[in-house]
Homo-oligomer: A and B are copies of this chain.
Amino acid sequence: ESEEAITEVWAAMNNFYLIINAQIVFFMQAGFAMLEVGIISPKNAKSILFKNLLDMCTVALTWWMWGFGLAGNGASGQIVAEGSSFGDFGMGEGVTRGGSGRGGGLDWENSAAFLHSLVFATTTTTIMSGGVAERMKVEVYIFLSVILSSFVYSTVVSWGWGDDGFLKEMGFVDFAGSCVVHLVGGCAALVGAAMVGPRRNRFTDTGDVVSFKSTSLVLSSLGAMMLAFSWISFNGSSVLSTGGGNLELAAHAVTNTLLSLGGAGVTSVVIASLLQKGTYDLPNTINSILGGLVAVTAPCAFIDNWNAVLLGIISSMVSMGSSNFVMKTLRIDDPLDAFSVHGACGILGTIWTGLFAREDLLSMVGHTKGAGLFYTGNPELLLAQLAGCGVVIGFTTITIATSSVFFHLVMVAYKAARGSDEIVVDDIGDDDGAMYAEDESATTE
C-alpha cells in the first residue's frame, strides 16, 4: 500500500514538472516575437507579431489533430495507444482512468505529455518565422508552419526520439533538440529565406550588403533574455520525469546551458573587439548567446562543465562565421540569422555530442550505444550524430521546398482562375506599417 502511495506521488510530481516546464517553454513565443520584432523594420512589425500569434494557434490545433499522433512515443514520453494514427483528431476511446482500451492518440490523462510535446512543436515553427521575416504573406507562412510542425517535425521526432525510430536505433542521441528541434527550424528558415529572396535593396548591384535599421534593440534584448529564461525549461525538462536521479541530471543540464551561454557571450565580445577595435555589437552578442544555447541543447546533460564552456566559445565562432557565409557567399537574406543560430549551431551541438558525451551520463537516459569519440575512441556515436544531421537537413529541405512550390503552384492556378496574376511566395509583405502611434493607420479597430 505504501508503495502504491509513493507511485502516486511520483505521478503527480511528473505531471507538475511537465506542465510547468511546458508553460515556460510556451513563453518562448513571446521571446521570439520580441527578438524578431526588435530586429526587423518597424513597417513589418505588425506582420511578424501576427504570424507569431497565429502559428501558436494553428500549431495547437494541428498538433492535437495529427502531429502528436504522428510523433508517436517520441513525443515527451507519451504512452502511445494501440492504433493511434493520423487523423484521429486527438480523441482517445477510453476515458476511464487507467483503462487499457485506448484506441486513439490523446487520452485526457495523457495531457501533460501532450502539452510538453506541443510547445516543442510550436518553438520549431517559430524559428522559421525569423528566416522569412518581412517577405512572406501570412497565408503562406501559416501553411508552411502547419507542414513544418505537424508533418516534418513530428516525423523527425518519431525517427530521433521514438523507441522504434530508425535514428534512435542507430544510436543517435539528442537530449533536448539541437537537431530535432533547432536544425529542423533553422533549415526551414534557410529554405524559406532562399525562396522568398532578399529584402528589397538588401544587396547592392556590386554585391555589397546594405545594413537595415532595426525597430528597437531594447525589444530584441528583452526577447533574448526571455528566451534564455525559457531555455532553462527547454533543456532541463527534457529529462521528462522526476524520479531516478533525473532532476540531478536536469540541474546539470541547466548548469551547462548557462555555461555555454556565458562562453558564447564573452567570446562574441572578444571577437568583436579584436576585429573591430573596440566597438560593441549588440545584435551579434545576442545571436552568439542564442547560438550558445542552441549548441548546448543536444549535449547539455552529457558533457562536463568545462566542456560546455568550450562549446559556447566555439558556437560563437560558428554562428558568426555562418552568418557571414550565408549573407556574403550564399547571398541569402536571413534577417534574424535564424539558420546560423539554430541550424549551424544545431549541427555543432549534435556533432559535439558525438565527440564529448560521457558514457555514465548517457546511461542515465538509457542510452547504451556508444559515447563521445574523445573518451571512447569509438566513432559509433559520432557517425549516428552525423547521420542524424544529414537526414534532418535533407528531409526538412525537401519537404519545405516541395510544400512551398506546391502552395505556389496552387495559388498561381487559383489566381489564374480568378483572373489575377499576382504571385504569392515572393511577395514583399502586405503590411501597411501600422504599428506605432506616429502612423495614421495604427488604430484600435
Contacts and interface: CB of A to CB of B under 8 A. Distances in A.
Interface in A297-314: 304-306, 309
A252 B16 CA distance: 12
A232 B26 contact: yes
Interface stretch (A29-37, A178-186, A190-198): A29-37
Nearest to A263: B61
Contacts of A57: 261-266, 289
A306 to B, nearest CB: 7
A211 B42 CA distance: 21
B26 A23 contact: no
B26 A229 contact: yes
Interface in A58-116: 58-61, 64, 89-91, 95-97, 106, 108-109, 111-112, 114-115
Nearest to A212: B444
Contacts of A138: 269, 280
A221 B252 contact: no
- State the majority secondary structure of interface residues on A: helix
Contacts of A251: 15, 18-19, 111-112, 114-115
Given A6-B6, A252-B111, A247 B53 contact: no
A445 interface: yes
A346 B99 CA distance: 34
A219 B258 CA distance: 26
Quick one: which of A20, A218, A305 has the most chain B CB within 10 A? A218
Nearest to A217: B435
Contact of A436 (B13, B216, B246): B216
Contacts of A224: 53
In the complex, the count of this chain's copies comes to 3
Interface in A276-305: 278, 280-286, 289, 304-305
A51 to B, nearest CB: 10
B91 A306 contact: yes
Interface residues of A, number: 125
Nearest to A113: B251
A12 interface: yes
Contacts of A27: 225-226, 229
Contacts of A17: 16
Interface in A424-443: 430, 434-437, 439-440, 442-443
A242 to B, nearest CB: 5
A39 interface: yes
B16 A225 contact: no
B435 A216 contact: yes
Contact of A13 (B13, B33, B45, B250): B13
Contacts of A112: 247-248, 251
A437 B37 CA distance: 12
Contacts of A261: 56-57, 60
A33 B221 contact: yes
A210 B213 CA distance: 32
A94 to B, nearest CB: 11
Interface in A237-281: 242-243, 245-248, 250-252, 254-255, 258-259, 261-266, 269, 278, 280-281
Contact of A247 (B16, B60, B305, B434): B16
B111 A50 contact: no
B91 A305 contact: yes
A49 interface: yes
Nearest to A250: B19
A53 B16 contact: no
A177 interface: no
21 contacts: A2-B6, A15-B250, A23-B236, A37-B218, A46-B280, A53-B265, A57-B265, A59-B262, A60-B262, A96-B360, A106-B305, A108-B255, A108-B305, A213-B437, A213-B439, A213-B444, A214-B437, A215-B436, A216-B436, A216-B437, A217-B442
Given A111-B255, A115-B258, 6 more contacts: A8-B243, A16-B16, A19-B250, A23-B229, A91-B305, A281-B445
